[in-house]
Amino acid sequence: MIVVVKIGTSSVTDDAGVVDTAAIGRVVDQIAMAHEAGHRLLLVTSGAITAGEAVLGIDRTSADAATLQALSTVGQHRLMATYEDTFSRHDIHVGQVLVAPSDFFDRSRYLLARRVLERLLEIGVVPIVNENDAVADDAIGFGDNDRIAALVAHLVKADKLLLLTDMEGLFTADPRLDEEASLIAEIVEVNAELEAAAGAAGSIQSRGGMASKLSAAKMAAHSGVEAVIASSARQGVVMGAITGEDVGTVFRARQSKLSARKLWIGFAVPSKGCIKVDAGASKALLKGGASLLAVGATEVTGDFAAGDAVDVVTPDGEVFAKGLTSMSSTQARESIGKHSSEIPDSIPLIHRDQIVLTV
């Protein structure tokens, strides 16, 4: 079985942001056990920026992007040194792989990344993957390793994605605020109620939190990979997830599978606006294979440029799709209700190759 294990910042650093060698050791021991049982594992780790913050004493909460990137360069090798030391106790070699969003939807880079990761697994190395914060442009402000983990799972055709955090799984509400909140054991479809329950980041160090883990699990499900959100502190959590034990919240894989590019468009790129459509356009899009034409649009909100991502909503305001627009928000507003023959170059609002159903 190929398993991608993602461990969050709150699970690899202590309250002061210092790399927690004991916590990392506990997870590594479990990964090593699964490795020795014949499973092939990849580890996606967060914590580089927070580890750099602890070393340099710079407060990340008010830092600009360049400072965050600088912090990551200081923290990254400390994090990797800890992983290398702990894996070496089990005679397991590790290899660092830094990735960027474009690695997943540029075809040549996608195939190269796949070949490298597959070869590492073939020779018994555990790849340790992290987002390449040091040279990222907008990744610090939006990107997170939960989504990277889901894309890696898609890339290597993983059987399972395990998202380890400081909570036992996804609850009906935030258990820190609601004592009646209960753990959700199984999810077949992610809906608006679940997304609302996910809330925000769980700690000041974390930039993902449960909301991004839910998004990552949804991405995995749409790519045919079963996902599990569980606590990194749970004893035997890695093998438990692999063998199908109840260790957290499991997200069942969907039968239909999206490409890596469409996964990124649908679940990782931030929306810059919204296009409301009429019932006819909504029906055509939900059937699949249709472009969004201006004649079917009824309202455009937000300020976006051509190529930006926007949500597509039903007449009732429910988001059901997302895509990269062919027009700016100004052009889109001017085109509302017009037939293709009335629009320069007859371009659609969103081409069918750039739109993804998110329901």
Walk along the chain (359 residues) in steps of 10 and give the mean pLDDT of each run: 93 85 94 96 91 86 84 89 95 92 78 94 95 58 73 93 92 81 87 66 48 87 93 94 94 84 80 94 88 94 94 92 94 90 85 89
d(CA 194, CA 173): 9
Region of 158 (left: φ > 0; alpha: ψ -120 to 50; beta: rest) is beta
Helices 260-267, 145-155: crossing angle, 10 deg rounding = 160
d(CA 32, CA 93): 11
d(CA 248, CA 12): 19
Residue 136 has a pLDDT of 58
- Give buried/exposed letters for 175-190 (b at 16+ CB in 10 A, else e): eeeeeeeeebeebeeb
d(CA 140, CA 143): 6
Identify whether the C-beta of residue 88 lies closer than 8 Å to the C-beta of residue 58.
no
- Greatest distance between any 2 Cα atoms in the chain: 68
All domains in the chain, ordered by first residue: 2-261 (3.40.1160.10), 270-357 (2.30.130.10)
Residue 358 identity: T
Residue 133 has a pLDDT of 62
d(CA 359, CA 356): 9
Helices (H), 93-249: 102-105, 107-122, 145-155, 192-198, 209-222, 237-243
Residue 110 has a pLDDT of 85
Residues 6+ apart with CB under 8 A from 74: 51, 52, 55, 56
Identify whether the C-beta of residue 83 lies closer than 8 Å to the C-beta of residue 20.
no
Closest to 3 measured CA to CA, from 184, 263, 230, 265: 230
Task: Give, in order, the Cα–Cα distances in Å from 162 to each of 108, 171, 277, 294.
Answer: 27, 17, 37, 41
With H, G, I as helix, E, B as strand and everything else as coil, classify residue 328: coil
Supply the DSSP string of 27-62, one letter for each residue. Answer: HHHHHHHHHHTT-EEEEEE--HHHHHHHHHT--GGG
Residue 14 identity: D
The pairing of strands 40-45 and 126-131 is parallel
Supply the DSSP string of 327-348, one letter for each residue. Answer: S-HHHHHHHTT--GGGSGGG--
d(CA 211, CA 275): 23
- Cβ count within 10 A of residue 234: 17
Identify whether the C-beta of residue 204 lies closer than 8 Å to the C-beta of residue 235.
no
d(CA 278, CA 190): 24
Segment holding 24, helix H or strand E: helix 21-36
DSSP state of 340: G
> Which pTM value belongs to this model?
0.83
Using the structure block, give the residue that is written with the tokens 């400390």. 78
d(CA 304, CA 53): 34
